[in-house]
Amino acid sequence: MPKQFARWRGKPLVRHSAEALLRAGAQPLVVVIPKGTEEIAGEALAGIDGITLVPGGESRQQSVCNGLEALAKGNPDRVLIHDAARPDLPLAVIDRLLGALDQHDGAIPVLALVDSIAHAGVGEVMVAPADRAQLRRVQTPQAFRYAAILQAHRAWQGEPDAGDDAQVLMASGGSVALVAGDERLAKVTFAEDFRTFSPANRIGQGFDVHRLAMGEDLWLCGIKLAHESGLVGHSDADVAIHALVDALLGAIAAGDIGSHFPPCDPQWKGTPSHRFLTHAAELVAAAGYAIGNVDLTLICEAPRIGPYRDAMRQSLADILHLELEQVSVKATTSERLGFTGRGEGIAAQAVVCLQSLEMR
């Protein structure tokens, strides 16, 4: 599937750009699509008024030219040309671009380079340094006076696949202003970029209940408590860790503890719950996230959690490889109401915040 039609944050990439441009007042809006993708493009943009689909050419430059020609009948004053693979489009950048057209034929958003730059020779050998002070990273959308960019594309005699439209305009003698870009305009190029563009934060919540019975061990947060009764379950019945596992899995939309460790499976009989928590944390890391903080609440009449609170926090921090201040353990009662109030069981509720590894 062409990446422009792949889904990102619940929508195809191209739809994000189209909706942002329409919010900025771009009318009409031409979307240039690869030949043979009319059906999938129509589905990606379904329900959006004011869009015209135009088949592309054999190169990027020809595709842009086709899009500009489709606007010729309306003879617009200004035009924005945007790469659909840049789905996060801040309206402030559009304002800066359009403002620059008062003095120039074109305007492009750029960012300064922060890394050292080198010219590479054959065999990936550095042949010379480059002065990064004179170089900029170029983004889209790029803004132009319509008549100037249309004439420039019609007259283009350069490489078939021009790097961008600013090059086309400069080749015909037009002036191009540089305005401040935005890191949010990053381009989706590779499949792994879809993970990079995942939400910076994700929240998960979990809840679990286990019954208390005489003759059972009482495990909470990975430590064994001295108590007259313990929790009953297929594993060690650590209700606190079970709630936390569900919170982590929920934050990455990876099901629940039962789907990963079915209670009907004999291999998990009596298993220490810290193994479940370690597995959930590994899935979180594989999804591109790190645990920001954990907030756990135990609901019971007994035992008293206060004397064990710090040990519980340290146990969870050790299992999850977190700092102690990232882990909160609290306790409350249900005012002697319900099964917890009658001392028949213990309930636990957990909330976690995950942070994208790319944003840390």
pLDDT in tens, 142-169: 999 999 999 999 999 887 778 899 999 9
114 in any annotated domain: no
Listed in sequence order, the DSSP H helices in 101-238 are: 146-155, 165-171, 193-196
In 3-state terms, what secondary structure has residue 302?
A: coil
Across 264-287, average pLDDT: 87
Question: Are 206 and 79 in the same domain?
Answer: no
Across 33-50, average pLDDT: 92
Question: Are 183 and 322 in the same domain?
Answer: no
d(Cα 177, Cα 181) in Å, to the nearest integer? 12
177 in any annotated domain: yes
Distance of CA 149 to CAs 25, 26, 76, 169, 200, Å? 20, 17, 12, 6, 37
128 in any annotated domain: no
In 3-state terms, what secondary structure has residue 153?
A: helix
pLDDT band per the 50, 70, 90 thresholds, residue 88: confident
Least confident of 5-14, 31-40, 89-98, 218-227: 5-14
117 in any annotated domain: no
d(Cα 12, Cα 4) in Å, to the nearest integer? 7
Q: Provide the 8-state DSSP code for 337.
A: -
Across 217-221, average pLDDT: 93
pLDDT exceeding 70 applies to what percent of the chain? 98
Q: Tell me the residue range of the domain where 16 lies.
A: 3-109+139-196
144 in any annotated domain: yes
Task: Report helix angle 309-320 to 239-251, nearest 10.
Answer: 40
Predicted local confidence at residue 198, as pLDDT: 59
- List, in sequence order, every residue forming a beta bridge with 219; answer none if it has no partner: 224
60 in any annotated domain: yes
Task: Report helix angle 91-100 to 13-23, nearest 10.
Answer: 60
89 in any annotated domain: yes
Distance of CA 150 to CAs 61, 70, 110, 173, 340, Å? 11, 11, 22, 13, 74
Q: What is the pTM of this model?
A: 0.64
CATH of the domain at 88: 3.90.550.10
Question: Are 156 and 226 in the same domain?
Answer: no
- List, in sequence order, every residue forming a beta bridge with 214; answer none if it has no partner: 229
Report CA torsion sign: 28, 33, 38, 41. negative
d(Cα 318, Cα 56) in Å, to the nearest integer? 56
Strand 7-8 to 11-12 pairing: antiparallel
Nearest by Cα to 197 from 208, 205, 186 = 186
Predicted local confidence at residue 197, as pLDDT: 61
CB atoms inside a 10 Å sphere around CB 61? 21
54 in any annotated domain: yes
Residues 111-126 have pLDDT tens digits of 999 888 888 888 888 8
Question: Are 191 and 207 in the same domain?
Answer: no
d(Cα 224, Cα 126) in Å, to the nearest integer? 60
